[in-house]
A and B are shown apart, each in its own frame.
Chain A
Amino acid sequence: MRFSKILAGTIAGLVGVFFFFAIIGVFGLRLAIAGLAVFVLGAVVVCVAFPTQGSE
């Protein structure tokens, strides 16, 4: 259980690093724009799907 948590957290971190590198243009402008669009879209989807858990 603990290992799976660490693994999941590490993967989430690596995905974050990949998006950061993409957005600052390391892989070119087109991928920077695509990376930004995917990240923002993903963030919006997560925020809409899990908007206020426990807040009501």
Chain B
Amino acid sequence: MNLDPSTIARIQFAFTVSFHIIFPTMSIGLASFLAVIEALWLKTKKPVYFEIYKFWLSIFAMGFGIGVVTGIVLSFEFGLGFARFAQMAGPAIGPLIALEVLTSFFLEAGFLGIMLFGFHRVGPKLHFFATCMVAIGTLLSASWILSANSWMQTPAGVAIHDGHLTVVSWRHVLVNPSWLYRLPHMLTAAYLTASFMVAGIGAWYLLKGKHQHFARRTVSLGTAFATVLIAGQVFIGDILYGTMLKHQPSKMQAAEGFWEKQSQSPAPYYWFIVPDQNNQRNRFQVGIPYLGSIWLTHSLDGRVEGLSNTPRDLQPRMGIVFYAFRIMYGMGIVMFSVGVASLWLRFRGKLFSSRWFLWILVFMTPSGIIATLAGWYLAETGRQPWVIFGMLKTVDAISPVPAQALLSTLIAFVCVYAVFITAFLVFAFRIIRRGPEEAPPYAEASGSLKNAFRPYVLDSPGRLVP
């Protein structure tokens, strides 16, 4: 069987980075949520805030651990699958990744122990300080990584001589044209993810008639945060759309599903297409009339630029870019609707008693993760065929290693990550089933890994294993 190394390398990176991004998204959002909750606890001394903190701390800790481990894998994959990319881009993005380790990892490593195990060992103010430092660490981490990735999307501050890249302005590498918009977009996505998770779990308890006090407070906080955040996210997203249209028009052309150089007037907004890349047309399409002109050109009869404006050999695959954007944007619209509905129900005093709305919140629990994944697929597949936009094509960035080596490591990653996700889900569901009242006041060691998976250890972690 003839295997293409570039295809395997791309599948491997897509798999590992897709798995990884779920966990930092959760931990960035939950770290800041925990800081807010601990501040509320210190200010009001209400026990419910301590209960919320304890409950979400366990899930945060698991997500944080998996996020760190799976993030390190990505750095190694630069060498394993994309050595030519690392060789060329190293002078620009290498220091950014090193700075991530030096700033955020050191900050998180220094304070995470106090955050997880420090209750009853340090004072409440120092504990709060530790939680804030971990939250700031996650922000810094996102900032460096977004800077590196945004540089790949909109490279700046470098010159190329004889195929070698030299940095001429670190300020422009760091603050490249898309970073200022992509960073708040990603951070808001992380906070939204945490808000919907918190509200969704609270709604589940309300539907089951359990842990009412905890559930009402988390539903109230989660929907309030989500409503404010989604409005900001929609605004930032629109600004980012304009920026990417200017710097990476091919991505946004593919995202809108039009092939013609200029669409018909008025342009519809497509929600479903069957693209035919070879013949540069859609076989089938379903859209809402006028909405494309209104949303994309802000007029009733504006025309939208299609993918034919980009030469064929420089076009991304329309299908995946289009649907990634539709999933992200569609999820944003649903989130906005849920936010408006929550305000309406809160105003009418029915936020906790409308079962239909609580069920929607339960189904929206993973919505932030789905939208974030779709957003990253839009960002990464829309940049193709480039790995560094306009500088280095993906096909030229692959390591000179046999496809079999890449395939065997891909299989290994799939197996190891299957264990990770299974363990995370098993523990998370057990923590949810156990409920907030039974959560221990601080993390405790439970003995061996074999014993840690047994239900009675999770149900009463302080108990000795028989």
Interface residues of chain A, those whose CB is within 8 Å of chain B, are 9, 12-13, 15-16, 19-21, 23-28, 32-33, 36, 39-40, 42-44, 46-47, 50-55
Tell me whether A20 and B232 are in contact (CB under 8 A).
no
A29's closest neighbor in chain B, by CB? B239
CB distance from B310 to the nearest CB of A (A): 24
A40 contacts B228, C-beta separation under 8 Å: yes
With a cutoff of 8 Å between Cβ atoms, the chain B residues found around residue A23 in the complex are 231, 234-235, 238
A43 to B225, CA, bound (A): 9
> How far apart are the CA atoms of A25 and B216 in the complex, in Å?
35
B343 A53 Cβ-Cβ under 8 A? no
Are the CB atoms of B231 and A39 closer together than 8 Å?
Answer: yes
Q: CA separation between A15 and B343, bound complex, in Å?
A: 12
Question: Which 9 pairs show the lowest CB-CB distances between chains A and B?
Answer: A16-B340, A55-B216, A47-B224, A12-B344, A24-B238, A39-B231, A43-B227, A36-B235, A50-B346
Q: Is the CB of B349 within 8 A of A52?
A: no
Q: Could you say which of B7-15, B71-79, B331-339 contacts chain A?
A: B331-339
A-B contact pairs, 10 of them (CB 8 A): A9-B344, A12-B341, A20-B336, A21-B294, A25-B238, A43-B224, A43-B228, A46-B343, A47-B346, A54-B216
Within 8 A of A (CB), among B327-376: 333, 336-337, 339-341, 343-344, 346-347, 349, 351-353
Q: Which of B220, B294, B295 has the most chain A CB atoms inside 10 A of its CB?
A: B220
What's the Cα separation between A25 and B238 when bound, in Å? Answer: 7
Output the least CB separation between B370 and chain A (Å): 20
* Residue in A closest to B46 when the chains form the complex, CB atoms: A56
Residues of B within 8 A of A55 (CB): 213, 216-217, 220, 352
CA–CA, A7 and B340, complex, Å: 16
Contacting pair B295 A36 (CB below 8 A): no
Counting chain A CB atoms within 10 Å of each CB, the highest count among B333, B346, B349, B353 belongs to B346
Asked whether any CB of chain A lies closer than 8 Å to the CB of B120, the reply is no
Distance (Å) between the CB of B267 and the closest chain A CB?
Answer: 14
- For A39, what are the chain B residues with a Cβ–Cβ distance below 8 Å? 231
C-alpha spacing A20/B232, complex, angstroms? 11
Residue in A9, A21, A40, A53 whose CB lies within 8 Å of B346: A53
What are the interface flags for B290-332 relative to A under an 8 Å C-beta threshold, 1 for contact and 0 otherwise?
0000110010000000000000000000000000000000000
Expressed in whole angstroms, the minimum distance between the Cβ of A44 and any Cβ of chain B is 7
Q: How large is the interface on B (under 10, 10 to 19, 20 to 34, 35 or more residues)?
A: 20 to 34
Q: Write the nearest CB–CB distance from B293 to chain A, whole angstroms.
A: 10
Q: Nearest chain A CB to B47's CB is how many angstroms away? A: 13
- How many Å lie between the Cα of A26 and that of B346 in the bound state? 28
Residues of B within 8 A of A36 (CB): 231-232, 235
CB of A1, distance to nearest CB on chain B (Å)? 13
Cα A12 to Cα B350 with chains together (Å): 15
Q: Which residues of A contact B352 (CB under 8 A)?
A: 53-55
Q: Of the candidates B234, B295, B347, which one forms a contact with A46 in the assembled complex, judged by CB atoms under 8 Å apart?
A: B347
Distance from B4 Cβ to chain A, minimum over Cβ atoms (Å): 40
Residues of chain A contacted by B339 (CB below 8 angstroms)? 43
Shortest distance in angstroms between B231's beta carbon and chain A's nearest beta carbon?
A: 5
CB-CB under 8 A from B346, the residues of chain A are 46-47, 50, 53
Q: Known contacts A36-B231, A55-B217; can you find 4 more A-B pairs with CB under 8 A?
A: A13-B340, A27-B298, A43-B339, A54-B349
From residue B289, how far is it (CB to closest CB) to chain A in Å? 16
Best-surrounded residue of A12, A26, A47 (most CB of chain B within 10 A): A47
Residue of B216, B228, B237, B336 near A44 (CB, 8 A) is B228
Residue of A nearest to B233 (CB): A23
Task: Answer whether A26 and B231 are a contact pair too, CB < 8 Å, given A52-B220, A53-B351.
Answer: no
Q: Smallest CB-CB separation from B224: which chain A residue?
A: A47
Question: For the complex, what is the distance from the CA of A32 to the CA of B224, rounded to whole Å?
Answer: 21
A46 to B339, CA, bound (A): 12
Per the bound structure, the CA–CA distance linking A24 and B298 in Å amounts to 9
Residues in B with CB closer than 8 Å to A53 are 346, 349, 351-352
CB pair B336–A16 under 8 Å, yes or no, is yes
Residues of A within 8 A of B336 (CB): 16, 20
A27 vs chain B, min Cβ distance (A) = 8
Task: Check A43–B295 contact: CB distance below 8 A.
Answer: no
Bound-complex Cα distance A51 to B232 (A): 21
Within the assembled complex, what's the spacing in Å between the Cα atoms of A20 and B233?
A: 11
* CB proximity of B148 to chain A, nearest CB, Å: 29
Tell me, in angstroms, the Cα distance from A49 to B337 when the chains sit together. 21
Asked if residues B343 and A43 are in contact (CB atoms below 8 Å), the reply is yes
Chain A: minimal CB distance from B431 (Å): 22
